[in-house]
Amino acid sequence: MAEMSYRTALVTGASSGLGRGLALWLAKRGLRVFAAGRRMPQLQALAAEAQAAGATVEPVEMDVTQVEATRERLLALDSECGGLDLVVANAGVGGVTHGRRMEWDPVRAIIDTNVTGAAATLTAVLPLMVERRRGHLVGISSLAAHRGLAGHAAYSASKAFLATFLESLRVDLSNTGVRVTCVFPGFVKSEMTANNAFPMPFLMETDAAVELMGTGILRGETELSFPWQLALPSRLAKMLPNPIFDAAARRLR
């Protein structure tokens, strides 16, 4: 695929964590970045930080679980900026959904954001990208997508959905000029991981993860997995027979 010159980007979940870091990283490289999220004060602080660095971040108050409003807003932004070159579906939530104590509300919340919200974000301007024969869709999945983690059925499944969704899009969009990238992070310091009460091996600093993401996205990589110390065994775990995997996963609960 030919080299792409990025002018504009939209990043969801930009109030904190990877989304915030990536929005600022892209802006510092000359992109006009629309930073979307539910918490406007945090987005305004991000915009001020970008401005102080000579970059452009425009805050966009958005809740991706409000699907129709999200799609309408993305279409409006696309028209306003002359076409979004890069759309990053980063907004996501986690939480324990243990099979023995399963409740619907936390499952629904994860699906609404990580599945429905992500799909709505990625598809809103996709037909326009195909028509323009340029664009880049990025989804932030997780290494948890490779196997079902004990106690995290909804989260693992939601990230597996996103990975498979993007893989199919990548195949369908070959030779259209539209790129597709799926990112599989491990544990990264953020508001979400700060609440985890279990061990998080190879926990990464946010800035280091953002550098890997941003560089890989602009290179047009189809998949990015990090850190390698966790990415490799998570990939190998897909090949384990179920009895062996189940026994190992139970020990990690």
155 assigned to active site = yes
Residue tagged active-site, from 155, 165, 187, 226: 155
Element (H, E) at 224: strand 223-226
Q: Is the peptide bond before 106 cis (omega within 30 degrees of 0)?
A: no
| Alpha helix ranges (H) inside the chain | 17-27, 40-52, 67-81, 104-110, 118-123, 126-132, 153-172, 191-194, 206-219, 228-237, 242-251
Task: Give CA–CA dist 72/74, Å, rounded.
Answer: 6
30: left (phi over 0), alpha (psi -120 to 50) or beta: left
Torsion of the alpha carbons at 74, 77, 82 and 84, rounded to the nearest 10? -40
In the chain, the largest separation of any two C-alpha atoms, in whole Å, equals: 55
Strand partners, 182: 139, 223
Burial degree of 203 (CB within 10 A; 0-12, 13-18, 19+):
middle
Active-site residues: which are they? Answer: 155
